[in-house]
Every structure is written in structure tokens, then in C-alpha cells.
Amino acid sequence: MSKADFITVFEATLLCANLDVTGLSLVDDNHVLITFKGNGTKKVNIEADSFGAIIVDVMKYVF
């Protein structure tokens, strides 16, 4: 599975969890952009991260 595919699946999970997240997108191979309700955003560095580490890095900003 590619990072792009993983981010798509992880985005669906976050949306289904009914959190304050409205989107998760891969900016480039090293960053994802979290979009929150109210249109706030946070760019997260995922360089050299495993899929598990991506989850941890993103969830730091979701809760």
C-alpha cells in the first residue's frame, strides 16, 4: 500500500469517527494536511514514518 492509499483510508476512518476533522490529504511524500471543522488546518511532517507512526503523528493534533 502506498502512503497516498494509506492516507485515503485513514481519512475515511477519521471522518467516520466523527472528530473535528473534515479532511486529511497528502501534500507531498513528507507531509499531510489535516483540515478541521471551521477550516483550520495543520501540516504534519510524516517523513520516513511507518504507517503506525503516521497515525500517532496525526492523532497528536486531532485530540
Position 63 scores a pLDDT of: 84
* Residue 48, pLDDT score: 84
Q: Please give the model's pTM, rounded to 2 decimal places.
A: 0.92
Residue 24 has what pLDDT? 98
Q: How many CB atoms lie within 10 A of CB 46?
A: 22
Domain boundaries, the chain: 3-62
**CA-CA distance, 21 to 2, in Å (whole number)?**
22
Enumerate the H helices of 1-63 as residue ranges: 3-16, 51-62
Question: Which pLDDT score is estimated for 26?
Answer: 96
pLDDT tens string, the chain, 63 residues long: the values are: 999 999 999 999 999 999 999 999 999 999 999 999 999 999 999 998 899 999 999 999 998
